[in-house]
Chain A
């Protein structure tokens, strides 16, 4: 840890990376044609970091100046980020005509990658273009692309501080950064892909990298296990996804978005049952990737990876991949635009899965003591919100209620944005806490007996009162939690409100079956208020619960800047963007601009506020205020009663958070020891026994089959191969006698061979 001012000169390599986009723009390149740079930059950085890491490991320049490859990764991600911003700006300026027929997209297609001739059943040949290389840019792509590039950049920045100051990572960081950029490439590529096959390829690249990154500390048994679990669980989903893609190909004869989305119903000839199964398979793939019930079990364990990885996987990229896939299903069901009617069960299924996961994850988060696990369950729960919203929007689209569908689709995507920003920041803030607590612990026990294994720097029961030690982190975490909870006017409130309201609207006005998800998301709003407040209070408020806390300092460079930037975005982004109409823009970029759609800015603000707090529908007004009441009042107050408390005498906290600490002490305290020993609590501690039952099921079904297969492999297959091998050895001994080594014999053989060929040719020619 050097002088932090001095550290920033390491950012010099970023300047050329920043110059690439202006140079291209001056050279007259179209922004969308430059999109390949977004994927290419990390793709190049990956081998560069890996190979130079192997070559220069341990050299001072490599370690100090290049941060073991971190600066290279940061530069490549900056190229991606700046290109993404360029495309975004161009898109918003309307540099290219965006038409409604094209679904509001700007696409570029560069080359045909796979194309082949197809022999049809009537013996006619036709040449078909299967897969090209190109990009598909619309508002959803741009939003996700911005989120992914921006967060990857910030997380890489954060990693420079987090990873490179931990002695346990010494000389291994180049692997981290290499895997990091490859992962980032997977996400960028997936978002930009203009057909389902490329989407699937990048999807799998992400899966591989998540395995590598979660298992970064592979010598820890738990980390290796978690990596394996994450890989296998998502694999289950991936297999379904692949099946779904095959069905889609069977239906449309192509996997390209431009072909499929041009007319998903093929003039109304598509069999809706078949399409339903295809989309359901795709959805199961998304469930695996986004850790939804019942394939959610990998996500909490994935916290074994380094904290930046948690931020990367669980906020910025991988879990959003599933949501993106579901968002891409909209053209299939949008009956207003050539969609296929009769698919509304799909929307119901998506909404139910979302509702169940939201509630379940929130309830498990109640009892977790590991700060990162709370965030993991919170991620699951919030993603489930988005799934619910997407399910409702699919249902609306399929029943022709396009206006409502548009609002809830945009709201869901907007929630994705808010959640990604807030959750990325929360993970980094928790990383900051963990990092500093860990360092303080090392510092405290310097020279003495190390009791590393007894002390868990991630356990919130070892923290408390950190608000005075870590002003920036505590403020950042407060804002992030507020955004997640949905405190009015901050961040996620705007999007969550839209999801909850529209779900209730669907259930009250149209479809009684939607009541399940509706009530679940409403309850979850309050539960979110509880567990997020609980996390904050346990960490930052109250008396310190461990001596280590006294030695914590907020001093590592590189860690604070991302927190500050993301705090500002989380706090103001929700309100600002929703005033500018992002919700409608995300769903219909061809009808709505991201900007002032009303007469004036003030009108817009008033309209949005009115829409959020005083909707016309009296039912929705009740629902809206119930949500606010639950998340703002009930949840936090319960949390404050159980875990709140003022700081120790003489300690002061930052001005931003002091009111909260003070407030948390005002609700008295309640002993919950008895409650925490109840069987429900125990079940929640054990994550509702999902892992247990999964393992039981696997041991009853897969393991016996695997044993049988192993026996078959060893005795039958290996037996045949061994027999072939021994026989061919015997045979070769016999044949070897022919090779006398005498040149004249060889000439004779050549002559006989030539003669036979001659005779054959003669005979054939007749």
Chain B
């Protein structure tokens, strides 16, 4: 078994990449995918800690996070679809009605 800290390091790197992606992309779906990436990175951290301490709670949290990610994707895509049907685009720059 490899050292759990390596897994955590992988999680940090993936998280950073996902964060960068949320900054740069305008496409709603890609942003959503980047958020998924960040969630997965967090999962990696949980698993690393669980393995390190031999405590199963980290696994449970991971499972919960995966389920919540599924819900989040469903809601996010539904929002994007309704945005697409009203605005004709899913570029996040178009959704600016909250401004002012």
Could you tell me which A residues sit within 8 Å of B by CB distance?
736, 739-744, 747-748, 751
The CA-CA distance from A746 to B25 in the complex, in Å, is 13
Q: Does B89 contact A (CB under 8 A)?
A: no
Q: Looking at the complex, which one of B24, B31, B100 makes contact with A743 (CB distance below 8 Å)? A: B31
A742 touches B93 (CB 8 A): yes
From B19, B26, B98, contact of A741 by CB (8 A): B98
Chain A positions within 8 Å of B3 at CB level:
none
Q: How far is the CA of A742 from the CA of B99 in the complex (A)?
A: 8
B99–A744 touching, CB < 8 Å: no
Report yes or no: A744 in contact with B95, Cβ–Cβ below 8 A.
Answer: no
Q: Are B23 and A744 in contact (CB under 8 A)?
A: yes
Q: Which chain B residues (7-43) contact chain A, with CB distance < 8 Å?
A: 19, 22-26, 28, 31
- The reply to whether B23 and A739 form a contact with Cβ atoms under 8 Å apart is no
Query: CB < 8 Å: which of A736, A740, A744, A751 contacts B25?
Result: A744
Question: Are A739 and B98 also in contact (CB < 8 A) when A744-B31, A744-B92, A751-B19 are?
Answer: yes
Contacts of A736 in B (CB 8 A): 100
Establish whether residues B92 and A739, one from each chain, have CB atoms under 8 Å apart when the complex forms. Answer: no
B86-100 toward A: CB 8 Å interface, digit per residue (1/0)? 000000110111111
Could you write out 30 A-B pairs with CB less than 8 Å apart? A739-B98, A739-B99, A739-B100, A740-B96, A740-B99, A741-B95, A741-B97, A741-B98, A741-B99, A741-B100, A742-B92, A742-B93, A742-B96, A743-B28, A743-B31, A743-B92, A744-B22, A744-B23, A744-B24, A744-B25, A744-B26, A744-B31, A744-B92, A747-B22, A747-B23, A747-B31, A748-B23, A751-B19, A751-B22, A751-B23
3 nearest A-B pairs in the assembled complex, by CB-CB distance: A741-B99, A741-B96, A743-B92
When distances are taken between beta carbons in the complex, the residues of chain A under 8 Å from B22 are: 744, 747, 751
Which of A743, A747, A748, A751 is B95 in contact with, Cβ under 8 Å? A743
CA of A741 to CA of B24, assembled, Å: 16
Which residue of A is nearest B100, CB measured? A736
* Shortest Cβ distance from A736 into B: residue: B100
Residues of A within 8 A of B100 (CB): 736, 739, 741
Total residue contacts A-B, CB cutoff 8 A:
34
Hey, which chain A residues are within 8 Å of B93, CB to CB? 742
Where chain B touches its partner, the secondary structure class is: loop
The residues of A that contact B28 with a CB separation of less than 8 Å are: 743
- Chain B nearest CB from A736 CB (Å) reads 6
Segment 58-100 of B: residues with Cβ below 8 Å from A: 92-93, 95-100
A-chain residues with CB within 8 Å of residue B25 when the two chains form the complex: 744
Q: Considering the chains assembled together, what is the distance between the CA atoms of A630 and B24 in angstroms?
A: 106
Whole-angstrom CA separation of A741 from B98 in the bound complex: 5
Give bound CA distance, A538 to B9, whole Å: 106
Chain B residues with CB under 8 Å of A741's CB are 95-100
CB distance from B29 to the nearest CB of A (A): 12
**Measured CA separation A747–B26 after assembly (Å):** 12
Q: Chain A contacts of B96 at CB under 8 A?
A: 740-742
Minimum CB–CB distance from B87 to chain A (whole Å) comes to 13
| CB-nearest residue of chain A to B95 | A743
The CA-CA distance from A747 to B25 in the complex, in Å, is: 11
| A748 CB, min distance to chain B CBs, angstroms | 6
Closest to B97 in A: A741
CA distance A743 to B79 in the complex (A): 13
**B24 CB contacts on chain A under 8 angstroms:** 744
In the assembled complex, the CB of B27 is this many whole angstroms from the nearest CB of chain A, namely 10
Least distance between A743 CB and chain B CB atoms (Å): 4
> In the bound complex, what is the Cα–Cα distance between A744 and B25 (angstroms)?
8
Closest to B98 in A: A741
Which residues in B have their C-beta under 8 angstroms from that of A740? 96, 99
Closest-by-CB residue of B relative to A733 is B100
New A-B contacts (12) at CB < 8 Å, excluding given A742-B96, A751-B23? A739-B100, A740-B96, A741-B100, A743-B31, A743-B92, A744-B22, A744-B24, A744-B25, A744-B26, A744-B31, A748-B23, A751-B22
Q: Nearest Cβ distance between residue B15 and chain A, in whole angstroms?
A: 11
B98 contacts across to A, CB distance below 8 A:
739, 741
Closest CB of chain B to A233's CB: distance in Å? Answer: 56
**How distant is the Cα of A429 from the Cα of B64 in the complex, in angstroms?**
79
B97: A residues at CB distance < 8 A: 741
Q: Output the nearest chain B residue to A755 by Cβ-Cβ distance.
A: B19
Q: Residue on B with the closest CB to A748?
A: B23
Which of B26, B31, B92 is the most central at the interface, judged by chain A CB atoms within 10 Å of its CB?
B92
A739 to B99, CA, bound (A): 6
For the complex, what is the distance from the CA of A741 to the CA of B26, rounded to whole Å?
13
How far is B98's CA from A743's CA once the two chains are assembled, in angstroms?
10
User: Across the interface, which residues of A come within 8 angstroms of B95, CB to CB?
Assistant: 741, 743
CA distance A744 to B93 in the complex (A): 8
Q: In the bound complex, what is the Cα–Cα distance between A562 and B68 (angstroms)?
A: 73
Min distance, Cβ B92 to any Cβ of chain A, angstroms = 4
CB-defined contacts of A748 to chain B, threshold 8 Å: 23
Chain B minimum-CB-distance residue to A741: B99
Complex CA distance for A751 and B22, rounded to whole angstroms? 10
What is the distance, in angstroms, from B14's C-beta to the closest C-beta of chain A? 15
Question: How far is it, in angstroms, between the C-alpha of A340 and the C-alpha of B41 when the chains are bound?
Answer: 78
Q: What's the minimum C-beta distance from A571 to chain B, rounded to whole angstroms?
A: 82
**Distance A751 CA – B35 CA, assembled complex (angstroms):** 12
In the complex, chain B residues whose CB is within 8 Å of the CB of A747: 22-23, 31
Nearest CB of chain A from residue B84's CB, rounded to whole Å:
15
Query: Across the interface, which residues of A come within 8 angstroms of B92, CB to CB?
Result: 742-744
Question: Which of B26, B95, B100 counts the most chain A CB atoms within 10 A?
Answer: B100
With both chains docked as a complex, state the minimum distance between the C-beta of B72 and any C-beta of chain A, in angstroms.
Answer: 15
Instruction: Give the CA-CA distance A742 to B26 in the complex, in Å.
Output: 9
CA distance A751 to B25 in the complex (A): 15
**Nearest chain B CB to A357 CB, angstrom units:** 70
**Complex CA–CA separation, A744 to B28 (angstroms):** 10
CB distance from A730 to the nearest CB of B (A): 16
> How far is A741 from B92 in the complex, measured between Cα atoms in Å?
9
Q: Which residue of A lies closest to B26 (CB)?
A: A744
- Chain A residues near B26: list those with CB within 8 A: 744
Measured in the bound complex, the distance between the Cα atoms of B100 and A736 in whole Å is 6
Tell me the minimal C-beta distance from B77 to chain A in angstroms: 15
A740: nearest residue on chain B (CB-CB)? B99
Q: How far is the CB of A297 from chain B (nearest CB, A)?
A: 61
Q: Give the interface centre of A739, A740, A742, A751 by most chain B CB atoms within 10 Å.
A: A742
* Complex Cα–Cα for A744 and B24 (A): 8
Hey, which chain B residues are within 8 Å of A743, CB to CB? 28, 31, 92, 95
CA of A736 to CA of B98, assembled, Å: 11
CA distance A374 to B55 in the complex (A): 88
A739 to B100, CA, bound (A): 7
A751 surroundings in chain B (CB, below 8 A): 19, 22-23
Shortest Cβ distance from residue A527 to the other chain B in the assembled complex, whole angstroms: 80
The CA-CA distance from A740 to B26 in the complex, in Å, is 14
**Bound CA–CA A447/B99 (angstroms):** 71
For the complex, give the distance between the alpha carbons of A751 and B19 in Å.
Answer: 8
A374-B99 Cα distance, complex, nearest whole Å? 74
Interchain CA distance A739-B96 in the complex, whole Å: 10
A754 to B: closest C-beta gap in Å = 10
**Chain B min CB distance to A673 (Å):** 84
- CB-CB under 8 A from B31, the residues of chain A are 743-744, 747
- In the bound complex, CA of A741 to CA of B93 (Å): 8
CB distance from B39 to the nearest CB of A (A): 14
Residue from A736, A740, A743, A751 with most neighbouring chain B CB atoms (10 Å): A743
**Distance of A561 Cα from B28 Cα, bound (Å):** 83
Chain B nearest CB, measured from A756 CB (Å): 15
